[in-house]
Structure 1
Amino acid sequence: MEDNKTPEAEAEDTTQEAPEAAQDDAETFPRDYVEKLRKEAAEARVKAKRADDLARELFTAKVTATGRLADPSDLPFSDELLADSDALSAAITTLLDKKPHLASRTPRGDVGQGPTGGNSGDVDLAALLRAGA
């Protein structure tokens, strides 16, 4: 009697046999080699995490150095902005256009307070008393 299996049924039969055959033919590695590979992978993950942390710190420092934002964490981290200073400046400008309340409020330049550029070091008290007398 002929076997009238559909192609799907034949595929199921071959897939059921394949894992058993793969397990028999699977190549095994010594335990110390596998442990060494796992240790190297763990060290690589730690280094990658450290690199990501340093990249975020550098990004925050670059945003802070512009002095345009009150809080540098208002601009989300981006690798592309970290590499390109012009793009970083454009991103800050775009953010400030959308949300002007995030701008730094630190006064810059002459705001009319503090010592002036006059003769602050050459005060002659005796001359002042004579002028007033």
Structure 2
Amino acid sequence: MRILGMDIHRSFAQVAFLVDGQVTKEARVDLAHDRFLKFAKTLEPTDEVAIEATRNSSAVERILRPFVKRVAVANPRLVRAIAYARVKTDKIDAVIRQREAEYVERAERAYERMVEAWKERPSAPAG
């Protein structure tokens, strides 16, 4: 199973493909409908996709959903809070699970790995 972490921008998405916790491929994908649909059709039915909730996330989710196992849309504030939290409690985790989708925990881990892998790249662009 692959996990795709997508950092969605206005006109493109930066995609990291993770297999067993390792980034195996990266791609920059145009969000123009026809081009993005072409990309979506290359995905595998067992793929899981994690994206942050942004202005374009609902359109991205609608296009991806028929081609992958699941799409997890994570609240960006909660993802950042969890990524940088020094103390985690069961109560906080329970609240997060209630408010977010069933798969947000998986989305958070995938997103964190994508961000860390992106930071470790020698030629990572700013912003």
State the TM bucket, normalised to the shorter chain: under 0.3
TM-score, normalised to structure 1, is 0.19
Tell which has more relative contact order, 1 or 2 (C-alpha 8 A, sep 6+). 2
TM-score, normalised to structure 2, is 0.20
**Could you say which structure has the higher helix fraction?**
1
**Could you say which structure has the higher strand fraction?**
2
Which has the higher Rg, Structure 1 or Structure 2?
1
